[in-house]
Every structure is written in C-alpha cells, then in structure tokens.
Amino acid sequence: MKKKDFVTLIMSTVGGILFALGMCMALLPEWGAMTQGIVIGIVGAVILLAMIFVRRKMGGKPAIVLNGKAIGITLLGVFGAVVLGVGMCMTMVWEMMIPGIIVGICGIVALLCLIPAVRGLK
C-alpha cells in the first residue's frame, strides 16, 4: 500500500466516523446533543476536506484546480446528493413512499453520472 493511500484511509475513516456520529447526535432528538453533534460533524467534515488537500499534495498535484469541468462535476455531485437525500426524507420522514423512491432513484442516477464525467468513456 502506498503512503498516500494509507494516509487517505486513516483520514477518511476518522473523518467519516466523526461526521456520521455528529449527524446522529444532531438529528436524533432522543440523544439531546444538538450543539455537540454540530461541532463533531463540522470537525469530521474539516478532516474529510483536509484529506483531499493532503492526498493531492502527496500525489504531487496542485491543491485545488478550478476549471469548468471541476465546477460542473462538483455541482453534479452536490445536486445528486441533495436529490437522493430529499428522496430519503420523503420515504422515511414524510411517509411519501412511491414519490420518495422515484426521487431517490433520480438522485442515484445523477450520482452515477459522475463516473463517466470524472473518468470519461473509452
């Protein structure tokens, strides 16, 4: 295993766990830990963002690349995640099962479109 892969593995695991735990703390009223959950979630998100910069630095690439393709891919990823999340909320919170499944599938399709957008078709 390469050094950058190992560092990415550790940082993504720690950041993902902290982010998920923070979201659970913030969104589950039974836990009564909204403020602490927000803080832990932000710490997890910061670690995940730092992981991107560390991995690019270890790979000898510039920290951030701003061009039309990168911005478009980012917007597509955010759009797909939000649509998938809305579909999940529709099925689990608002009890709109069939429309929620349809919206969730649209979000999954948008996220699947990221693969050819990032890797390209050959």
Split into its structural domains, the chain has a count of 2
**Whole-model pTM above 0.75?**
no
- Is residue 52 located within the same domain as residue 71? no
- Tell me, what's the pLDDT at 38? 95
Q: Say how many C-beta atoms besides its own lie within 10 A of residue 109's C-beta.
A: 12
Domain extent, residue 83, equals 65-122
Q: Are residues 39 and 17 in the same domain?
A: yes
Q: What is the pLDDT of residue 103?
A: 97
Reported as a pLDDT band with limits 50, 70 and 90, residue 11 is: very high
Q: How many helices (H) and strands (E) does the chain have?
A: 5, 0
Average pLDDT value for the chain: 93
The pLDDT of residue 120 is 87
